[in-house]
A and B are shown apart, each in its own frame.
Chain A
Amino acid sequence: MKRAVTLALILVLGVFLAANVFAGGQGDGGAKKSLKIGKIPITMQANYHQAHVKHLIAYAKEKYNANVSVIDGEFSTEASVKAVETFISQGVNGILLHSLDEKVNDQMVKAARKAKIPIVTFYIPTLSRLVPHLQINEAETSFQMGKVAALKWKEWYPNKPIKIGVIDYLTVEIVQKHRTGPFIAGVLSVDPTAQVVSKLEGSANVQKAMAAMQDMLQAHPDVNLVYGANADHALGALAALENAGRGKAVNGKCLTEIVIGTDATEGELAKLYNPSSSFKITQGLQPKVNAIAEMDLLYNCITGTQNPDAWIQIDTFDKFISYWDTPIEEAQKFIEEQYFTKLDLKSATGN
């Protein structure tokens, strides 16, 4: 009896599997087949990437009748490699890849191309420049942030030398190239005597950023331009400053330091537009703009309009946001459009 039941179950399972294997080739009554796109964000643990994926899914469906599957890259090259392999085995029509390492990107891209699947990289390209790439040109806005911060400081406190402290992503080379490096260059373009007094690792973690900033304040209490390479770093640094009785401004004039961030998340903007906070400058990544651009690029590769094996770089840009130059209404519109937010900045900041 047990054996009969077991055999019956195996038979049912076999029929089920066979049905699935053959079902892929069946027509569905003439309805248009939708594209299957695989998206690998570097992480889903950040506001920006969550919003990017949301925009991508909506846009892909609306414009191209494409269904997007997402596998979280978990900030790990291993997870990204597995994700690419999974999408290849699923036979997707195209892959959008945002991963950590240029060299490993080469391998993942080669695997996808071997399976004849078009693949587009985002933010971090292939080392050998193998396939089309979408790049956020953060260097320009980072430079602008550094310049504006330095100009403001010199305007308010011309006799206080600029001392830069950075809560950084030391493990991610491209951040040095696109964010931290250009930011410092922007400061130096205004004041060549400005010094970087400290660069500490934030590990994309607000708690670690806070602890690092506490130590930085101890070693360099005169630090006056504090740059966070992402929102968690900037907000963690600000928390440490606030805990130390700093982090303050009066009607937008910073008292002891200017804090500069990255990402323009709700949390950042709520502080930025608070006239009593020293957080005053950031750059807003634009998930909607980037999602549309990368999907368009991939679709062109799928249809052959763009050679999927030719290097081409398309640039998008971040939005520069400062308390002094960007009206709050503009920032409100930005976060509503880009981040699906329900936050009312004016209420949140007492404006």
Chain B
Amino acid sequence: MQADLTLKAGRRGGRLDIQLLILVGILVLVMAVSTALTPRFLSYVNMINVLMQVAMIMLTGSAAVLLMIAGAFDLSVGMVLALTGVMYAFMSKNGIPTPLALVLAVLIGSGFGLLNGALVVGLKITPVIATLGTMYVAQGLAFIVAWIDGGANVTTGLPRDFEVFGRTMVGPIPMFLLIVFAMILMFYFLFAKTNLRKYAFAIGGNQTAARLSGIKVGGVVLTLYVLVGTLTGFAGMTLASRMGSGSPKVGTGFEFDVIVAIVLGGTSIYGGEGSFLGMILGALIIGFVGNTLNLLNVMFFYQTILKGLILVGAVLLMRQLRRR
């Protein structure tokens, strides 16, 4: 198979390539402007900072992009991120060996993915409603666990190795970053080499036709939800380890960060079209814009306006492209 970074849909692949080129152009432009505006932008430490900040978005986005291509999405990822972090901290603090707590936290994420899939596929609840519901459940559980621990965060009494995963360096690079990017690459190739991506595109393009052609639509969507939950669980655990605490308040707006990265990357919210690499580029664009604005001390309120404008502008540009 020809090396292909775009996960082409059944449509003409050329259009997606152009979209990706535009995204690369936007990213280069953002970086060029940032470099001109602040000398501290283009430094190794700053690049690593931005990558650390967007790594969780990219990790969850790795599975969420396929889910959106298949015509579904998951609004619970933010709160599942919070819950898995809190549970990782709570379990580590209460006698479960840290490596086991790490695995269990990830499995909790998988469990929520399975629940989401069951609600959407099994009970035929629309994804917005199903995942909104599980979002609230996860949020409440995160606060309850912290409250059982005695407060609003799980911060004290954590074992020494709690922070190892999130803070260990391999030379100049954070270990968790290497692992996260290895996982992202692994998922990319998994999707590229298996039928999962083909099925996702087929389902997103025309669910009925996909079913009639023998694709187990429910099974594919369920699998994607479980993958999203698993990766989110891993992200939540990693974040808690980096922060040195489990906080129920993390992840607020995370689901929208993931969706923005995916949509900015050229994936249609209606399904059937999208790009893994586009999602990566979208996350980087948003990450670098936020980073530059912070470096320039731009007031927070202007930052949110600018992010909105970038998102809408990029989507309008993509739409113009689709019309040609």
- Which one, A45, A204, A206, contacts B245 given CB within 8 A? A206
Select from chain B the residue with minimum beta-carbon distance to A207.
B250
Q: Which residue of B lies closest to A263 (CB)?
A: B152
**Stretch from A12-20, A106-114, A208-216 forming part of the interface with B:** A208-216
A342–B150 touching, CB < 8 Å? yes
Complex Cα distance, B295 from A351, in Å, reads: 38
- Which residues 15-49 of B sit at the A interface, judged by CB distance below 8 A? 38, 40, 43, 45-46, 49
* B239 at the A interface (CB under 8 A): yes
CB of B131 to closest CB in A, whole Å: 20
Say whether B242 faces chain A, with CB atoms less than 8 Å apart. Answer: yes
Chain A stretch 12-51: residues in CB contact (< 8 A) with chain B = 44-47, 50
Docked pose: A277 CA to B33 CA in angstroms: 37
The reply to whether B157 and A239 contact each other, CB–CB distance below 8 Å, is no
Indicate if the CB atoms of B49 and A214 lie closer than 8 Å: yes
- The stretch from A123-131, A177-185, A264-272, A310-318 touching chain B is A264-272
* Binary contact track B144-158/A, C-beta < 8 Å → 1, others 0: 000100111101110
CB neighbours (8 Å) of B296 from chain A are: 219
Q: How far is the CA of A83 from the CA of B239 in the complex (A)?
A: 34
Q: Which residues of A contact B299 (CB under 8 A)?
A: 170
B300 touches A (CB below 8 Å): yes
Take A219-B297, A341-B150 as given contacts and tell me if A214 and B251 are in contact as well, using a CB distance cutoff of 8 Å: no
Q: Does A147 contact B (CB under 8 A)?
A: no
Q: Using a CB-CB cutoff of 8 Å, which residues 274-324 of chain B contact chain A?
A: 291, 294-297, 299-301
Residue of A with least CB distance to B82: A207
A-side binding surface: helix, strand, loop or mixed? helix
Q: Which residues on A sit within 8 Å (CB–CB) of B244?
A: 235, 239, 242
- Provide the residues of chain B in CB contact with A198, threshold 8 Å: 297
Given contacts A216-B294, A267-B153, contact A242 B167 (CB under 8 A): yes
A342 to B156, CA, bound (A): 11
In the complex, are the beta carbons of A205 and B151 less than 8 A apart?
no
In the complex the two chains form, is A47's CB within 8 Å of B157's CB? no
State whether A266 and B251 are in contact (beta carbons under 8 Å apart), knowing that A207-B239, A210-B243, A341-B150 are contacts in the complex: no
Task: Among B49, B155, B242, point to the contact of A266 (Cβ < 8 A).
Answer: B155
For residue B271, CB closer than 8 A to chain A, the reply is no
Whole-angstrom CA separation of A204 from B252 in the bound complex: 11
Answer yes or no: A201 CB below 8 A from chain B CBs.
Answer: yes
A199 and B156 form a contact (CB under 8 A)? no
Given contacts A170-B299, A206-B243, A214-B52, is CB(A340)–CB(B251) below 8 Å?
no
Nearest CB in chain B to that of A238: its residue: B244
Question: A residues within 8 A CB of B300?
Answer: 170-171, 200-201
Interface of B is mostly: loop
Q: Does A326 contact B (CB under 8 A)?
A: no
Q: Is A348 an interface residue (CB 8 A)?
A: yes
B233 at the binding interface (Cβ < 8 Å): no
Asked whether any CB of chain A lies closer than 8 Å to the CB of B53, the reply is yes
Query: Which residues 67-98 of B sit at the A interface, judged by CB distance below 8 A?
Result: none
* CB within 8 Å for A340 and B155 given contacts A219-B38, A219-B40: no
Query: Is A261 in contact with chain B by the CB < 8 A criterion?
Result: no
B52: chain A residues at CB < 8 Å are 214
User: Which one of B157, B250, B251, B291 lies within 8 Å of A343 (CB-CB)?
Assistant: B157
Question: Does B247 interact with chain A (Cβ within 8 Å)?
Answer: yes
Instruction: Say whether B247 contacts A207, CB under 8 Å.
Output: yes
User: Inside 8 A of B167's CB, which chain A residues have their CB?
Assistant: 242-243
Nearest opposing residue in chain A for B43, CB measure: A218
Chain B residues whose C-beta falls within 8 Å of the C-beta of A138 in the assembled complex: none
Q: Mark A235-255, 1 if CB is under 8 A from B, else 0.
A: 110010011100000000000
Chain A residue nearest in CB terms to B155 = A267
Q: How far is it, in angstroms, between the C-alpha of A243 and the C-alpha of B53 when the chains are bound?
A: 13
Determine the residue in chain B with the shortest Cβ distance to A239: B243
Q: A343 to B53, Cβ gap below 8 A?
A: no
Contacts of B153 in A (CB 8 A): 47, 206, 232, 265, 267
The 4 closest A-B pairs by CB, nearest first: A267-B155, A215-B294, A201-B300, A207-B250
Residues of A within 8 A of B (CB): 44-47, 50, 170-171, 198-201, 203-207, 210-212, 214-216, 218-219, 232, 235-236, 239, 242-244, 265-267, 270, 339-343, 348
Question: In the complex, given contacts A218-B45, A341-B151, what are 18 additional A-B residue pairs having Cβ atoms less than 8 angstroms apart?
Answer: A44-B143, A200-B294, A203-B252, A204-B249, A205-B250, A207-B247, A207-B249, A207-B251, A215-B291, A215-B295, A218-B43, A218-B291, A219-B296, A235-B245, A243-B242, A265-B153, A265-B155, A348-B157
Q: Could you name 25 residue pairs across A and B whose Cβ atoms are closer than 8 Å?
A: A45-B143, A47-B152, A50-B147, A170-B299, A171-B300, A204-B249, A205-B252, A206-B243, A207-B251, A214-B52, A215-B294, A218-B295, A219-B294, A219-B296, A232-B153, A239-B243, A239-B244, A239-B245, A243-B167, A243-B242, A244-B45, A265-B155, A266-B150, A267-B155, A267-B156
